[in-house]
Structures are given as structure tokens and as C-alpha cells.
Chain A
Amino acid sequence: MKRSAFRGSAALAAVGVTAALALSACGGGDENGGGDGAFDQASNAIVNASDKKGGTLNLLRTGDFDSTDPGNMYYATAWNFSRLYARPLLTFKSVAGQGNLDIVPDLATGLGQASPDQKTWTYKLRTGVKFADGTPVTAKDVKYAVARSNYSPEVMEKGPVYFRQYLENPNGYKGPYKDPNLDNFKGVTTPDDQTVVFHLAKPFAEFDYLATIPQTAPVPKAADTGDKGGVNYAKSVVSTGPYKIDKYEPGKSISLSKNPNWDTSDPNRKQLVDKIEVQLGVAADEVDNRQMDGSAHIDVQGNGVNAAARSKILSDPELKKNADNPKSGFLWYTAISRQVAPFDNVECRKAVQYAVDKTAYQAAYGGTTGGDIASTVMPPSLKAYQKFNLYETPGDKGDVAKAKEHLKACGKPDGFSTSISYRTERPKEKAAAESVKASLEKVGIKVDIKNYPEDGYTGGVVGDPKFVKKNNLGLMVYGWAADFPSGFGFLQQITDPGALKGTGSSNISHIDLPEIAKMFQDVPAIKDEAGRNKVYQEIDKKVMEDASIIPMLYAKNLYYRNPKVSNVFINYGYSGMYDYANLGLK
């Protein structure tokens, strides 16, 4: 889970907010001279809904996917893209707006059947699903996919290892590359060709979220051997989706064409265009410009446009109507270390909560289209989100008087000195750190800004309690998104005292409250979602009362959609980026 911050997933705005947005968005579009789209329309609706077939879809991005191998990927954009050629057991619903946070069956016929103790999860596979070469998909292919992706860290090093973490493994199974006999892998059993049973070591009521990870997409053992197997499977993935990879040149391009053996009853994907060409390694500004001049269709980097394009789009109504500004599921925040004096005193933490100017922080992340001002740890894109604000300040610009009150209560009426850290490679975080410094100096808190390389920031800097103490890092600029859009997925890594082990923990505030630990221990066994969400809200409030996280922004991205593309909508299951598995051309 340590790389959770790499990908994000989001859910959707609360119903009221969403409806309001939808209304204003549609209104705005009409005023802008009609046309086909409206600003932010795809966040809540399908833009250019159409079943027209044919054409070549041109996708592009600045980097490369971390891998095309469904078993070896972590970024949300890769998980999203993989659905073009890989069908996991479950997936996020392909509908516009709120609904796509719902988990629906994909390769399976229904959601997981849990045993009463939440420790055994059973999935039945659809019949008639075939690989691209025509061979039928069996339960063993799913078991093999889970085994290779989670138990062979020496080969599959990029993806998360939730299954290894949750499944029982009584005989220390070492992965299929070292131990080809799958019978030794007891965590998953296959009573027949259509049934997959997962055996958990501890109860986990949210196991269905794990079944949406592309690692449950079937992999034929025969195709994962020799020169074509292992890491090289990325170049010869055997498709179960509507498209198959014809050619993958890492860093350069990916070519996909229709998969003739795709199960057309698949409710989650469309097979509209004939070919999909992905150009990799395109310069960032070129990515933006080519979408706007029409020579490429959709950016599959999934981070949104750059500053230059952002300004161009937002100031030109003709471009703006083809842009979307969905929430990404990230929370940009500044953590307060509970270990670093004087922040071991809750009053000093509260003083900072009141002192910060969140609008300045917002400016650092690109202004109002970069994120909405936050007041809770959980972003509104989670079903468990509940709005509250314990530290309200006028216009979110900070409240010097209240901050000073708490400074007095903390015994530091004249302020104190501390440090704030940010990641060197991230100019936005630098600007954010500078904004915090400027806010805090108004109440007499002196702040020294320190920067560290992004690589190892969580591992050896803010995640290392000794380092934090030694360098007096009272404040740390950070960001977080969940691997799966539940309260547990979001909160556990950054607030659970149980996640504090040695170094490398994302609980960088060093929250060690026993009552929060207890709640995290009990919540996985609660069967109903509403009951669990209540606990998550409780945890959120406890953390805010403890004042050890300053939520700054619910992150948003600005995307541009080429108006020629059809069936465009935001999928909140994958960090609030466009759903790549349903695109077509008008």
C-alpha cells in the first residue's frame, strides 16, 4: 500500500452539489453559443452519446504507462486504460456522474458472496467469455493472475499487493515463477471452472473493491512463459476486452485493434472505433495543443492540462465549453507532526488550523479550477464524506485573532519557530509551502522552508519519525488519494495508528490515538456500508478535533475533450479522469 499516493480514485460529489453543478454547467453552455458540449458537462453527463462506429481514436500522453500488464500497474490512468483489453472480476459502473462509483460485475456474474465472518469471498464467472485467441476463460486463469501479480515481487514490482496482504498463505507460497504448482497457493481456490473463492486471513467487508483491481483480470498461464512471460507479458497481453494490443513499443506507442473474440454482452465497455493509436512520450505542451487543434483526441496521462493551456481554455468560451473540471479524489493537505514541539500541544496545532490562508494555498495549486477549499480529511468524492468545518475562518483566508487565542492557550503567545517541507520536483508544493509560511508569520510563527527529493519523501523524510524530529519538520506539505474509493481506502494509511510501523508510513502526522486505532480494527468486519461509513465519519471528526491534518483542497483537474470524440464522461472510480473504455468518434 505504500505507493498509494501514486494513484487516486475518487468518488463523486454529494448529490446536492452534483445537481447544482449540472444545472449551472448546462446553463453556461447555452450562453456560450450552443455547440455540442458545455463546461464541465462530462463530470455529470455523457457528452456526445453515440453508437456510431468506425474510425481511429488517437490518444496521447507525455509519459508511458507504468506498464500495460494488468498485473503490474498502479497508476489510475493505467487501470482505466487496461479495461480496453482486460476484464477484472468487478469494475466501476460505466455511467455518467455519481453512479460510476458503484461496483458492478464484469468478468463475474455478480458481486462477491461473503461468508458470515467476511473471510471467504466467492465469485462466479460469466460463461462464454473468451481470450482473444478463442480459448475460454476459466477460474484457474483468474487464480493464476492473482498469484503472479501479488506473490512474485521479483518480477511484478509495480502493482499493489493487497491480495498478498489480505489472503491467507499458510505455506508461504512464493509465486508461479518460483513455484509453478498453483495448488500450493491456498489463498484462492477454484472448485470448478466458473468459481473463484478467496480465503482471507482476517475479515474485510470491502473485499469487492479489491476485485476491481486489474490484477483479477484473467491471464492464461501458457502465455506467461519464456521470453513472452513475466515483465514481457506487457507486450503480449492476451485480451479479454473489446480491443487487443497489436504492438507496444515502450515509451513510443501502443496500437490496439478490435478483438474479434470479445464477449459482446459486456455491459461496461463499447467497441466503436476500429483502431486505437496511443502516442507516448509527447511533450506536455504539445499534448494540450494537439487536443485543442483537433489532431489528437484524448490525453491519457490523466493529470489534466498545463498552466498555459489552462489559461487559454478558461479565457476562451469556445474552448472552455469542451473542458471539464472534475474532482480527482486527491486531498492536498499539510500535515502537522504531533511529535515535533510545540505541536505536541493540540492548542498549537489548532492555532495553525486557524492561521492558514487556504485561498493562498488554492492559488498555489492553480486557483479555483485546481481544487475546492477543504475542511475534512475525506474528500466529497467519497460516499462516506460528511461535510463539517471545525476551524471556520472568514472567506477561508485565516483568522489571526483566533489563531493568537490558541497560541496563548498553548503557552506560546509570541509564536515559535518551525519548519515546513515540500517535494523539490513539485513547484505547486513549493508555492504552497511559501503560502503557509506567509500566513503563519502573520501570527508570529517563524517558518523555515525545506525541500527534499520526491523519491523517498514518504519513505525516508516525512515518513521517518526520527528524521522529522531531527529536522524539526512541524509541517509537511503532502497529498493523498485512495487506491479504492472507500473511507477505509482513503483514511487508513494516513490516520490509522496501526499504519505506524518504523519508517515509510504515510501517517506522517504520527496520529497514535487508541480510539482511532480501535475503530480501524473493528470497521472491516462491519457488514453494511452505511454502518462503515458512519465509523469513517467518526474517524474524520476525531482527526480534525486532534487538528493534526490541515485539509487544504479537494483537488480538481482541468481536462480538454476533443469535440469529435463521443461517449465522453468522467469515471470517478479512476481518479475522476475520462472513462477510456467507452470512447468513440462522431
Chain B
Amino acid sequence: MTAPIEVSGSETEAQPDAVLAGVDRKAIQGRSLGQIAWLRLKRDKVAIGGGIVVMLLILMAVVGPFLVGDPNQPHNDLIDPMLSRPKTGIMHSGISSHHWLGVDLPAGRDMLSRIVNGAKYSLIISFLATILAVVLGVFFGVVAGYFGGWVDTLIARTMDIFLAFPLLLFAIALVGVFPDSAFGLSGNGLRVAFLIFVIGFFSWPYIGRIIRGQTLSLREREFVDAARSMGARAPYILFRELLPNLWAPILVYATLMIPTNIIFEASLSFLGVGIKAPTPSWGGMLNEAKEVYEVAPHFMFFPGMAIFITVLAFNLFGDGLRDALDPRSSR
């Protein structure tokens, strides 16, 4: 039997009570699997590029809002009152030394500021929604995979139902009946919580299925049998034996889920059920731009590019991470 390939960096945790003490991988390889993965990842220039862009995006979302101006400050004087488009700039975009990405329509708000502030909400929502989905997905996936039987049937069928749900329509309908304030939250705080809930709650089955499959194969392994024979109870096996061996797929699929959720958040904002006006969001900006894209192409171009670059960076990084952590997959 070869070393359990799913094991990643947290090696010591993965080997409690010296259950696997006989398996001496260090003697063979001299490096931890985490180190191997990191070496592989470092060699993948595309993934590193994606990772750097992701870091920059996160930096932009965290620090950016303090550096750019108020995203809701109108500059009506920059808009031609008859032609209703920015007076100056390349292709009437309003691009100038004050407004690097031009201004929007019809109020003349700074596009750079709106994109930077939009990144904040886009990333917060997609990160937290992903965490929610991962927590739910891993919990139910592990439980279903480990226990099998009727528990598995129940959870697996529930996942099927969730996956078959017309999600976008459901979200639109739900936001329509959503009150202005609930759970001690109101306004945008409530909307953000709502979006996190909707996106996270409906995407957990994707990761749940994968974890369930992995658990199904893991639970037949010797170290699980060993733990069980030593009297370990189910919770212990689930969280101390199985979970540490699942970190790799969890990390990979979480990374790949973030861009999906960014697009989902943008879609909801585009359809008018996202963040409330006038708070900027990339999807909301695209929605505003669709009325005037022929007059002011920059209004659609920049938020579109923001979504494109973010999603691409996360995907490239996620793909690289998968390749690095899972040598079985073809590169």
C-alpha cells in the first residue's frame, strides 16, 4: 500500500495516536506532501500568476476603498445634459486624471471607485458564501459517505433536489418577499446576509457530492478500520481521521467555487436582487450599463473586465492548486 495521497500539509494531525506510525514516508521522500505540493505549484507559472492576481484583488478590496473617493458622489457637471454621456475623455468615457476609468451614467460617478468598492462586496459575498457551502457540504458529505445506508440515501437525495432547483428564479422570488429588516439586520447588511445565504445554501451539494465520494473510498481504508477497532467513535473518526485526509479536495473545490459564486452574485445583482442601490456591485453596474452601452461602452467594459479577470484568476489558481495537490489528475 502506498502512502495515502490525500494527505496534505497537516501531517501530524493526520496521524494521531500513532495509528499509522509504521508508515514512514519521510524516509522515502524526505519532504512533506505539503512541501511537494508547494514545489509543484511553484513550477506552475500560470497558477502563480492567477494567485498573484487573486492576492492583488483581495488587497484592492481591503485597502482600495480607503484610497479611492466616495463611489456614490455624483459629478453631474461632467455629463453632457443634452447627449447624456460624459463630455470628455476617449470615446466619451469621462476618463481623466481624476477619473482613471471614466465616470458612469447618468450621475457621473467615478468608475474606479465603484469598481474597487464593488470588489469589496463581490469578494465578501463570494468568500463567505463559499465558506458556508464548504461547511455544509463537508459536514453532510462526510456524514453521508461514512454512515451510508438510509442516512446516505436521505442526504444524497436532498443534494439531488438542491441541484435540480431553478436557483436563479428561486433567488429572485425569495428577494421579492424578503422583508426590509429581519434577524436584527436591515438595509444592505441584510441583503449581504441574504445573498450569502442563498448562494451558499444552494451550492453546498456540489462540494457535498465530492466529499461524499471521497469519504466512501476513505472509510474502507486500513487506518479507519484500525481506529474503529481501537474503539474510536464515529465523531472521532469523522473529524480526526477522515477530515484531515479531505483537506486537499476541500481546498481545491473551495478555490474553484469562489469564481462560480462571484458570477452568481453578479448575476443576482444584474437582475436587480443583489446589493441595494446606490451601493456599487459589478453585476449592478453591468445592469445600469446595458441601457447605454452603445453610448458609453466603457460603462459596460470595465465592470465586465473586473468580473472576467477575477473569475479567470481564481480559476487558474484553483486549477493549479488541484494539479499540485492531486498528481493523479492529468496536467
Contacts and interface: CB of A to CB of B under 8 A. Distances in A.
B partners with A: yes
B89 interface: no
Contacts of A315: 83
Interface centre among A359, A424, A434, A453 (most CB of B within 10 A): A434
Interface stretch (B56-64, B73-81, B241-249, B258-266): B73-81
A360 B74 contact: yes
A362 B293 CA distance: 20
Contacts of B108: 363
Nearest to B82: A368
Interface stretch (A211-219, A254-262, A295-303, A425-433): A425-433
Contacts of A424: 272
Given A307-B292, A427-B291, A314 B107 contact: no
Interface residues of B, number: 28
B295 interface: yes
Given A434-B277, A451-B277, A364 B106 contact: yes
Interface in A281-323: 306-308, 310-311, 314-315
A390 B320 CA distance: 67
B295 A307 contact: yes
A367 B78 CA distance: 13
Given A430-B277, A438-B74, A448-B187, A359 B292 contact: no
A366 B72 contact: no
B295 A369 contact: no
A367 B292 contact: no
Contacts of B76: 357, 359-360, 363
Nearest to A430: B277
A431 B106 contact: yes
A307 B293 CA distance: 9
A364 B82 contact: no
B17 interface: no
B24 interface: no
A367 B106 contact: yes
For chain A, which range describes its interface: under 10, 10 to 19, 20 to 34, or 35 or more residues? 20 to 34
B220 interface: no
A182 interface: no
Interface centre among B74, B79, B106, B108 (most CB of A within 10 A): B106
B276 interface: yes
B110 to A, nearest CB: 13
A311 B272 contact: no
A306 B295 CA distance: 11
Nearest to A363: B106
Contacts of B272: 424, 451
Contacts of B278: 434, 437-438, 449
Nearest to B176: A453
Contacts of B81: 359, 362-363, 367-368
A495 interface: no
Contacts, number: 85
A284 to B, nearest CB: 10
A366 B107 contact: no
Q: Is the interface of A mostly helix, strand, loop or mixed?
A: helix
Contacts of B288: 427, 430-431
Contacts of B107: 360, 363-364, 431, 434-435, 438
B85 interface: yes
Interface centre among B73, B83, B187 (most CB of A within 10 A): B83
Contacts of B176: 453
Contacts of B80: 367
Contacts of A471: 180
A367 B292 CA distance: 13
A469 interface: no
Interface centre among B79, B80, B82 (most CB of A within 10 A): B82
B84 interface: yes
A450 interface: yes
A427 B76 CA distance: 17
Contacts of B84: 307, 310-311, 363, 366-367, 370
A200 B295 CA distance: 53
A451 B178 CA distance: 12
A230 to B, nearest CB: 34
Interface in B56-115: 72-74, 76, 79-85, 106-108
Nearest to A311: B295
Contacts of A430: 277, 288
14 contacts: A307-B84, A308-B294, A315-B83, A360-B74, A363-B79, A427-B287, A430-B277, A431-B106, A434-B72, A434-B278, A437-B72, A449-B276, A450-B276, A451-B276
Interface of B: 72-74, 76, 79-85, 106-108, 176, 180, 187, 272, 276-278, 287-288, 291-295
